[in-house]
Structure 1
Amino acid sequence: MKKILHQLIVIIGCLVMTTHAFAQDAEALHETGRSFMRQGDFPSALQAFDKALAIKPDAIDILKDKAFVYYLQRDFASTIELSKKITEREDADAQSFQILGLAYKAIAETKESEKMYKKALTRFPKSGALNCDYGEFIAASNPADAIKYWEKGIEADPNYSGNYYFATKYYAQKGNIIWGLLYGEIFVNIESLSKRSEEIKTILFGGYRKLFDDLSILDNPKQNGTPFEKAVAQNLSDLTSFGRFGITPEMLTALRARFILNWYSNSQSKGLVFPLFEYQRRLLRQGHFDAYNQWLIGTNADAQKYTQWVQQHGEEVKGFQQYQRSNLFKIPAGQYMLH
């Protein structure tokens, strides 16, 4: 009896070890496929994923990567076929629906996209990415509804950059100066190195120029805004004298330094916590505020002067860049200003 029991234990142990070895092989093949995918070698990536799936046919992460490689190859029919199977699974995540949405967008399949996004947001209402994608999907036909989804995405996932990108453009176009400026600056701090960041910096510069061309733009938020909007608008109105110097990084540094000092000493803004202002205050205290404002609008204000400033202030630039890399801008959950 003991001998039989011992044999059973040995057999079970071998099975466990074999299963573990197969799992490791699948993981190694999956990572190999991802490496090929990053290199742009999509046929080799698919071969590696197929070998991994031969070992673990239900591995959803491998299936998602395979669907995404199909998309990158512009094989949208295969992307859709595989992604639809994935999104039917109980363990499908928000990213699974995103991949399907990308394929539908590529072939302009609006009817199926609408059904898919509604289903996805029913399952994942707090997905910043899905709210962002659906907002972009309906923006052309219904921008008033699109901004609602971008705002939902910001509230649910405040560190997902895409919703700020689209919300900034929406508010800038609608003449909502406060949220165009605030969301734009949040965006460039979260997504600081992308092409979209340069686009939003241009919008920010234009926003400050519009503000000082016509300060009456603040009248509506001062009178009809939320307590937060009223406090921001009043604080900016109190600093109108700065506008006569033109929109330069130096002017912006002086204006915003005074704004932050006023914000944290004014009873009207007491208790109104806003992460962007907290970040600006830290930059002021650490001595990086000049370099930060140069980084923010320098190129758009005067590219030649900005280049000269960078050359003449190498240590300041280096110090700010090091601070920026080691103190990534993050918004704590729950710090969302309703408007």
Structure 2
Amino acid sequence: MKQILFCIFLSVTGVVFSQNKSELAESNVKKAVKLIDDGFPDEAIALLQQAKRLDKDNYIYDYEIGYAYFLKEEYKSSLIFYEKAVKYKNSNDQCFQMLGNLLDISGKPEEALKTYDKGLKKFPKSGRLYLEKGNVFWNQQKYLEAIRFYEDGIAAEPRFPSNYYRATLIYCNSAEPVWGMIYGEIFMNLEKNSKRTAEISKMLYDTYKNQIQILDDTVKVRFSKMNKVISNVFEDSITDQIPFGIGVYEPILLISIGKVTAININTLDSIRSNF
């Protein structure tokens, strides 16, 4: 009986000790994150190293250490820790995102793309990984390739705002601003009261002003130049469908404009409400 009680005591003690280690490690992470936010990355790194020794199976310590080095612009050191972070069973898509970003910063865009693809195999619904794939091509000014991945990201994770943001920037500066208007409106519904929201709001306003012409009793709108649908933009495969821009968006917008005689903030609000 005494032996049984002793075994139970050891078992309970072990569980409590394990819980205490885990709680201490978690507490250290919270302190370290605050130190990073307050501008003390070196102190945060030391604390995270202590926490890692208490909880060796969690990616978060290598992730945060890597981020601290990233903020210090010590990218080689940061890269080492993100290479470790992606190998944990409980790693997340942000580990692959940061590793890929560091490879891109280091002048290795092809390796960055491979890293994002590895992440997408594990996290196929990750909008941020599609975003970063698009950003590789954005940085190379290959916008047609970039938009492909931003739109893939929108399809994979519709509530992730950054892909809408990038897509809006591209389309509003293209011959097809119609899609910039749509993506921009969705973006502003997903991300409220940020600098990016203000930027997109102004871009949409300027695009409305530029693409709507009111002369006397004549109204002209020009949000799309495409008069044929390309079902696969990368293969130039054309269908007989009427394009959304000239077949749907522009006619409805004309009806929404109604008897408006000038485009300004007040009339634009009315047009958008009618749309």
Structure 1 length-normalised TM: 0.70
Match status 1:113 vs 2:112: yes
- AA partner of residue 159 (structure 2): N
**Match of residue 43 from structure 1:** 42
How far is 1:77 from its partner?
A: 0.5
- The residue that corresponds to 2:86 in the other structure is 87
Instruction: Tell me the CA shift for residue 145 of structure 1.
Output: 2.2
Describe the shift of the 1:184–1:224 C-alpha distance in structure 2 as closer, same or farther (beyond 3 A). Answer: same
Counterpart for residue 198 of structure 2:
198
Higher helix fraction: Structure 1 or Structure 2? 1
Aligned partner letter, 1:258: N
Q: Write out aligned runs for 1:26-105 (5 A).
A: 26-105=25-104
Amino acid at match of 1:181: M
Q: Is 2:100–2:113's contact at 8 Å kept on the other side of the alignment?
A: no
Question: Aligned-pair distance for 1:85?
Answer: 2.0
Q: What are the residue-to-residue correspondences of 1:232-247 with 2, within 5 Å?
A: 232-242=249-259, 244-245=261-262, 247=263
Contact 1:180 1:207 in 2 (8 A): no
The structure whose residues are more often strand, as a share, is 2
Backbone CA RMSD of aligned residues: 2.2
Whether 1:164 and 2:164 are equivalent positions in the alignment is yes
Q: Which residue of 1 aligns with 2:242?
A: 224
Asked if 1 retains the 8 angstrom alpha-carbon contact of 2:120 and 2:129, the reply is yes
How far apart, CA to CA, are the structure 1 residues paired with 2:122 and 2:265?
A: 45
8 A contact 2:212–2:221 mirrored in 1: yes
* 8 Å contact from structure 2 (residues 131, 163) kept in 1: yes
Deviation per residue, 1:104-134 (Å, 9 max, x gap): 2333322321322232223323210000111
| Counterpart residue identity of residue 179, structure 1 | W
Structure 2: state its 5+ residue gaps.
214-219, 229-240
Q: CA 1:117/1:5 → structure 2, altered by over 3 Å: closer, same or farther?
A: same
Q: Deviations over 1:142-169 (max 9, x none)?
A: 3222111111111111111110111001
Q: CA deviation at 1:256?
A: 2.2
Q: What amino acid maps onto 1:255 in structure 2?
A: I
Indicate if the aligned counterparts of 1:178 and 1:229 stay in contact, CA closer than 8 A: no
Give the Cα separation in 2 of the matches to 1:64 and 1:198.
32
| Displacement after TM superposition at 1:229 (Å) | 7.4
Counterpart-to-counterpart distance in 1, 2:188 and 2:274: 22
1:254 matched residue in structure 2: 270
Aligned residue pairs total 256
Looking at both structures, which has the greater relative contact order when contacts are Cα pairs under 8 Å and sequence separation is at least 6? 1
1:104 partner SS:
helix
Matches within 5 A, 1:6-25: 6-25=5-24
Unaligned runs of 5+ in 1: 260-339
Task: Letter of the 1:254 partner, please give it.
Answer: S
Alpha-carbon displacement from aligned partner over 1:311-335 (angstroms, at most 9, x marks no partner)? xxxxxxxxxxxxxxxxxxxxxxxxx
